[in-house]
Amino acid sequence: MSTYAIGDIQGCYAALAHLLERIAFDPARDRLWLVGDLVNRGPESLRVLRLLRALGDAATIVLGNHDLYLLMVAAGHSRRDSDDTLAQVLEAPDCDDLLHWLARWPLLHVEGSHVLVHAGLLPGWTVAQAQALSGEVGAALAGAQRHEFLRELAGNRPEAWNDGLQGWERLRVIVNACTRMRFCTPDGRMALRAKGPPEQAPAGTLPWFQVPDRLSRSHTIVCGHWSALGFHRVPGLIALDSGAVWGGKLTAVRLEDGQVFQVPG
């Protein structure tokens, strides 16, 4: 059995199909880890969702910001971006089933020495704490207050975590860290508007994974989200967003031996 971690697909079905052929993926034997952002920007989000749903237990997924945006739009709690490509999903006869399947995935998956998350973890969070906080968001998505949660989700504040946060502010910080963060200050204040490469870090910030004494260094973080960073592998980090939807590549890493596979986006 092999486990292949795959970067942001964002509706690029042809690239995903090509990559699965390239790695000779067999759902009866192998597993896929998807870092989130399955949908949007690319042309075939509906086919991506249907393919991954059909894989059943062979696919492990964490939610990205574009996946949550789809859930917010479908619930009527977000204005449509002028350049989104979600119409096929929203108009599909199986839309409700696909959204129900998507919403059951967590923000975080921990297995052995690896953590799968879309964007990153705040430097003051241990892996165990992050996993528990992900569970709080999962409960909100699965519970009776799902629509209220999706209505209150958008926004950049609070910018930092503290254990006393409650309600929607608490959940918003958890979601923003796990699905949107790139840069933060050493004490964990997020700079959520910054999208450039690491060398363009806003004053006083650095890439979240470079914060000294980050408490999640006990594990290797497998993530995506940051196309300006590109495929980036250093001890304790495998960043997989190589910009497939922007004409870059779709990347997979076989976790057992670290072999890298890439196809054009």
Mean pLDDT over 149-170 rounds to 97
pLDDT per position as a tens digit, 178-212: 999 999 999 999 999 999 999 999 999 999 999 99
pLDDT per position as a tens digit, 45-68: 999 999 999 999 999 999 999 999
* Mean of all residue pLDDT scores within the chain: 97
pLDDT per position as a tens digit, 26-44: 999 999 999 999 999 999 9
Would you state the pLDDT for residue 170? 98
- Evaluate if residue 147 carries a pLDDT over 90: yes
CATH of 3-264, picked from 3.30.365.10, 3.40.980.10, 3.60.21.10, 3.40.50.300, is 3.60.21.10
* Percent of the chain predicted with pLDDT > 90: 97
Q: Domain extents for the chain?
A: 3-264
Q: DSSP per residue over the chain, as a string?
A: --EEEE---TT-HHHHHHHHHHTT--TTT-EEEE-S--SSSSS-HHHHHHHHHHTGGGEEE---HHHHHHHHHHTT-SPPPTT---HHHHTSTTHHHHHHHHHTS-SEEEETTEEEESS---TT--HHHHHHHHHHHHHHHHSTTHHHHHHH-----S-S--TT--HHHHHHHHHHHHHT--EE-TT--B-TT--S-GGGPPTT-EEGGGSTT-TTTTSEEEE---TTT-SEEETTEEE---BGGGTSEEEEEETTT--EEEEE-
pLDDT per position as a tens digit, 110-121: 999 999 999 999
